[in-house]
Amino acid sequence: MSVRFERLHVDAGTHARLGRLHTPHGTVETPVFMPVGTQATVKAVGQDDLQALGAEILLGNTYHLMLRPGEELIGGLGGLHRFMAWDRAVLTDSGGFQVYSLAQNRKITEEGASFQSHLDGSRWLLTPERSVQIQETLGADVIMAFDECPPSKSDRQYMEESLARTTRWLQRCAAAWSRERSALFGIVQGGLDLELRRRHLAEVCAIELPGYALGGYSVGERPEEMHASVAEVAPLMPEDRPRYLMGVGTPVDLVTAVAAGIDMFDCVLPTRCARNGLLFTSEGRLNLRNATHARDERTPDPVCRCYTCRTHSRAYLRHLFAADELLALRLATLHNLHHYLELMRRAREAIGQDRFQTFADDVRRRESGRAPAG
């Protein structure tokens, strides 16, 4: 296999795992947060920024790259790594979530999903085979199986039909997968129904793959519902393969899922919040647009060592957002990504020292704003 996973240690008090994901473009220490580079770029920052922050793997978006500039163009220019000048690992999603989000402009059949481009209205058909072919042309280290992401509270009959179709689509993805240029991960769906989750997990894991993911969370359910479901399902996933929770989430979501045994995460939350002036800090969340920061000489986060916090005051950052300066987006994004990547680094350290539960509880207190920085 082009990707190999090592499980190094399991925390004494939780299911949290310390591991390494070996890829053709380097080793990824897990648990890991993957910044989202939707269109071959993580919004507002450069690849040099990401390397300086310590990012070891990025996520690219099959749907968006298929529409623009097209996988053939990227493949012809040497693949996604060369195209975006990123020599570390890349994971691409399958387009399944975008199919979910395009509910008004798509139709799902056994063949695949037909949809209307959000760019120019053109019609497209994405099938399991086509999704795998696109991702392999892009040259990603890890590719995701094409699945349907049903709303978490869909009725039972629709969920049953959707899961059966996703299993059949996974079988087609596995048949189309080259096994040499990439590592295919299967995706488990099932909403909040634990019976369906367990059944679909057994169906997906019956197909031998390099890794497995949980999809269909953070799509409308309450965080407490998601946490309870992941806590039940994650420990049932194969122990010797990486476990990926897709599209989640807040710092509390991450540490809760790590405690359940999840290894990999991605989410647009830190970068999207940054572009709107919201920072994640050791003291909770900080809204830089708030007028109370207009004369505040303090650093955004007193314990953070990112470039933004080492260099600039809350007053300056608030000014940049008020003036609609582009620098505001970069500085805020640098901080939020540093916060998430540092959270995972500290999580790995805590797992190695068998104190992850204490660490997770501390993160929850800080996120609630009830704990002092220190």
Question: 251 with 359: CB under 8 angstroms?
Answer: no
Question: Which has the closest alpha carbon to 10: 233, 240, 208?
Answer: 240
Q: Are strands 36-37 and 57-60 parallel, antiparallel or unpaired?
A: parallel
Question: How many whole angstroms separate alpha carbon 156 and alpha carbon 62?
Answer: 29
Q: Catalytic pick from 49, 93, 193, 253?
A: 93
Active site residue 93: yes
Q: Hey, which residues does 280 pair with through a beta bridge?
A: 285
Burial class (CB in 10 A: 0-12, 13-18, 19+), 248: buried
Burial 303-342 (b: 16+ CB within 10 A, else e): ebebbbbeebbbebbbbbbeeeeeebbbbbbbbbbbbbbb
> Strand, coil or helix: what is 69?
coil
Residue of 11, 193, 266, 301 marked active site? 266
328 close to 317: Cβ distance less than 8 angstroms: yes
CB 230 within 8 Å of CB 262: yes
Question: Residues with catalytic annotation?
Answer: 93, 266
